[in-house]
Amino acid sequence: MDFTRYLKEYPDEKGYFGKFGGAYLPPQLVPAFKEINEAYLTICRSSQFINELRRIRREFQGRPTPVYHCERLSRKIGNCQIYLKREDLNHTGAHKLNHCMGEGLLAKFMGKKRIIAETGAGQHGVALATAAAFFGLSCTIYMGEVDIKKQAPNVTRMKVLGAEVVPVSTGLKTLKEAVDAAFEDYLANYEDTIYCIGSAVGPHPFPRIVRDFQMVVGLEAREQFMEMTGFLPDVVTACVGGGSNAIGMFEAFLNDPVEIVGAEPLGRGEKLGDHAASVTYGSEGIMHGFNSIMLKDEKGEPAPVYSVASGLDYPSSGPEHAFLHECGRVKYEAVSDEEAIGAFFKLSRFEGIIPALESSHAVALAMRRAKEMGTGTILVNLSGRGDKDMDYVTEHYGTGENYMDF
Ligand SMILES: *Cc1c(COP(=O)(O)O)cnc(C)c1O
């Protein structure tokens, strides 16, 4: 496949990447998504919008984030050199702000007064509440009661930032019910509200909008890497939950002679329910308003999934990943909890960088590849910092002395 015109051709105007994507919506929501799509297509070409987003990225988010050469970690493994794109140094500590600031600016340009979303672990809620505070928009975040109990510090952060956190007490009281509640709110209020999705998933145009806002990661990283080394990396990798940080990184390298690999969460193992490696083990299906690859139970419903990294704990991935997998341009490999924990401790100990558990999956994949390759270079998207994971990791895995073997 030729990727020179890829960004112009995918998604098509109905939001399809090949057979994946689309917008499977209740009829009442069709006009709301159409309005967002039309506004985005106009605004994304406006120099006022582009310049304002550039200014925000520079002055508020702290972009560009650096690319960093992990010399000590690389030497421990052999001669292959590992580099990190430091999205952990983005304001609020992860890549999610890249699309939340874009979505907030879009809401502002559309004249909306309010942004809403659901959140599972709370990371998307915090990033969106940050964007709302910056733009002076009101913000409502739906969160399952079970998740509210588990993620108390993020709930407090959202409230301090001025967001209203609405507990959802239906069904299993987690992410799925929170999605339903947020959609219901949107249905009633779309005249003054926009719904802001947390990853490169959901009905068209969100997979495209989120991808476009995340592409800053890959575009910066490609240029920085070339400037540092004079070459392209041999391998580019990132962790894949819904797939936003990965798609932002991968997109810039699609037309290059570079191997691209997504790191999916293998959790405790290959059995359904023990992992969330949806591209690796899933099959085609429609969920949450889009057609993609998903993990299904025997009834064809979204299966229960698990990963030590709560941000990767989702039974599907964005439609563009399903497409890039199908056409063979991007490979997807699964990384277990144990491997990710090992990478978490090693990157901390040998580089002084404590990665998010999500990002640790990508670091683990890079370390595995570095060992196999023996030489060459690997560029990893370090999607976020690990402060949020410290308590959980130390309680369950100690402080890492048992994870120092190479
Ligand atoms: C949410 C999150 C992820 C997973 O989301 P994607 O949309 O797959 O990128 C990865 N890393 C961090 C640090 C996160 O907070």
Distance CA 254, CA 26 (A): 34
Q: Which of 96, 206, 393 to mutate to test the pocket of ligand 1 (most atoms within 8 A of CB)?
A: 96
- Integer CA distances (angstroms), 186 to 181, 182, 276, in order: 9, 6, 28
| Per-residue pLDDT tens over the stretch 283-325 | 999 998 999 999 999 999 999 999 999 999 999 999 999 999 9
Are the beta carbons of 331 and 261 closer than 8 angstroms?
yes
| pLDDT for 110 | 97
- Three-state DSSP class for residue 26: coil
**pLDDT at position 245 over 90:** yes
Distance 310 CA to ligand 1 centre (A): 9
Mean pLDDT confidence for 317-344: 98
Nearest CA to ligand 1 atom 2: 311
Helices (H), 233-384: 244-250, 278-281, 319-326, 337-351, 357-373
**pLDDT at position 333 over 90:** yes
Distance 198 CA to ligand 1 centre (A): 9
| pLDDT for 89 | 98
Distance 403 CA to ligand 1 centre (A): 24
| Per-residue pLDDT tens over the stretch 50-109 | 999 999 999 999 999 999 999 999 999 999 999 999 999 999 999 999 999 999 999 999
**pLDDT at position 365 over 90:** yes
Compute the radius of gyration of the chain from its Cα atoms. Answer: 20
Distance CA 299, CA 338 (A): 31
**Tokens matching residue 381:** 């998207």
- For residue 123, the ligand 1 atom closest to its alpha carbon is 15
Mean pLDDT confidence for 203-209: 98
**Tokens matching residue 347:** 């990157």
**pLDDT at position 394 over 90:** yes
| pLDDT for 153 | 92
- Three-state DSSP class for residue 340: helix
| pLDDT for 340 | 98
Distance CA 241, CA 246 (A): 9
| pLDDT for 346 | 98
**Tokens matching residue 345:** 């401790």
356 lines ligand 1 (CB under 6 A): yes
Q: Which of 283, 264, 290 is nearest to 200 (CA)?
A: 290
Predicted confidence band of residue 136 (pLDDT cuts 50, 70, 90)? very high
**pLDDT at position 1 over 90:** no
Distance 262 CA to ligand 1 centre (A): 12
**pLDDT at position 176 over 90:** no
Are the beta carbons of 114 and 142 closer than 8 angstroms?
no
Distance CA 406, CA 404 (A): 7
Are the beta carbons of 358 and 352 closer than 8 angstroms?
no
123 lines ligand 1 (CB under 6 A): yes
Which amino acid type is present at position 63?
Answer: R
DSSP states along 97-124: HHHHHHHHHHHHHTT--EEEEE-SSSHH
**pLDDT at position 2 over 90:** no
Mean pLDDT confidence for 352-377: 98
**Cis-peptide, bond into residue 304, ω within 30° of zero:** no
| Per-residue pLDDT tens over the stretch 181-191 | 999 999 999 99
- For residue 238, the ligand 1 atom closest to its alpha carbon is 9
359 lines ligand 1 (CB under 6 A): yes
Are the beta carbons of 357 and 386 closer than 8 angstroms?
yes
237 lines ligand 1 (CB under 6 A): no
244 lines ligand 1 (CB under 6 A): yes
| pLDDT for 226 | 98
| pLDDT for 175 | 85
Predicted confidence band of residue 220 (pLDDT cuts 50, 70, 90)? very high
Q: Name the one residue in this structure whose structure tokens are 């913000």.
A: 139
Distance CA 357, CA 343 (A): 9
Nearest CA to ligand 1 atom 14: 311
Mean pLDDT confidence for 358-368: 98
Which active-site residues does the annotation give? Answer: 70, 95
Distance CA 256, CA 368 (A): 22
**pLDDT at position 172 over 90:** no
Strands annotated E in 133-202: 138-144, 164-168, 193-195
How many CB atoms sit inside 10 A of residue 309's CB?
Answer: 26
Predicted confidence band of residue 367 (pLDDT cuts 50, 70, 90)? very high
Q: Which of 103, 196, 239 to mutate to test the pocket of ligand 1 (most atoms within 8 A of CB)?
A: 239
Return mean pLDDT, the chain. 96
Mean pLDDT confidence for 168-174: 90
